[in-house]
Amino acid sequence: MPPQPRPRPRVKSGMSRAFTKEDDSLEAPIIPPRPALPPGSANYVTPAGLEQLRQELAELEAARTAAEANHDNDADRTRRLTLLNGQLAALSDRLASAKLVDPVTQPANEVRFGATVTLRPTSSKGPERRFTIVGVDEADVSKGKIAFVAPIARAVQGAKSGQRITLQLGPKKEEVEVVRIEY
């Protein structure tokens, strides 16, 4: 009888198939939402905000073009394109609904969209607050840009220079004076 071939030992991989990258591509990517715009609200934008949206559109289109050209990993490519196409659709909708408001057309002595407002507490405590009222996509608190739908922006809209306003800051109220309005 001829010798029987020895069975090859099975080599176990350190990772089960359930944890491989290929399975990750089966999950639909989560497309980050645009900043919230309340239902029925107009999508007001400043000239700078509109330019920012257009720049974002150009960057997303360039990223999509690069992703379309990359054929290294089809699963990653498909996932990336799905994400980019979702972001582009949301941004295109936002651009289509944009209503440009040029701050120089606003009344100089009244707080409106596009105004840079300086508020001073009427009590001696607390620092002055200075912010610009902008569109929801342009808002960036770290840069002093507050969305027109934010509570503090809504509280001061329509106020005139020298006017006192009561702000609701969480559980407490604070009275402030509008000391400067700039456009």
Q: Tell me which of 21 and 98 has the higher pLDDT.
A: 98
3-state secondary structure 87-137: HHHHHHHHHHHEEECCHHHCCCCECCCCCEEEEEECCCCCCCEEEEEECCC
CATH number at 42-100: 1.10.287
CATH fold of 103-182 = Chitinase A; domain 3 (3.10.50)
- Residue 108 identity (one-letter amino acid): A
Per-residue pLDDT band for 170 (boundaries 50, 70, 90) equals confident
> What is the reported pTM?
0.78
Query: Which pLDDT belongs to residue 91?
Result: 97
Angle value at C-alpha 181, between 166 and 97, nearest 5 degrees: 90
Could you read off the pLDDT of 113-150 as tens digits, one per residue? Answer: 999 999 999 987 778 999 999 999 999 999 999 999 99
Each domain of the chain, given as residue ranges in start order, spans: 42-100, 103-182
